[in-house]
Amino acid sequence: MSQHSSFTDTSDFPSIGGLPLLPWEDNDFIDEAIDFYRANILFKTYPLLSDTDKLIVFVTIVLNHALRQLSGETTLENAQESRHHGACDAEH
């Protein structure tokens, strides 16, 4: 069974494209996405029960991309350099 966000009431926050803009000071939604990553990555479909579920899907995709970039790195320094270059590539 897929895991859904516990942040269902996002009416107090603005949104862009159906993704709620939650405050960065409260990283609970990021922690939630990380906690649910392993369970949710196994599903081909993910029913969206709230706008925050869209955010969970987005963060899951970003995490998956980052992990794929880092999969071949053997040291912390190489991994950090790889992520830095990956972030720079995403800006262009």
- State residue 86's pLDDT score: 63
Does the predicted model carry a pTM greater than 0.85?
no
Pick from 25, 26, 36: nearest CA to 3: 36
Confidence of residue 12 (pLDDT cuts 50, 70, 90): confident
Structural element, H or E, at residue 66: helix 51-70
User: How would residue 88 be classed by pLDDT, with cut points 50, 70 and 90?
Assistant: low
Question: Residue 17 above 80 pLDDT?
Answer: yes
- Helices of type H across 1-75: 28-40, 51-70
The structure tokens listed for 32 are 């939630």
Token digits for 60?
Answer: 């899951």
pLDDT greater than 80 at residue 47: yes
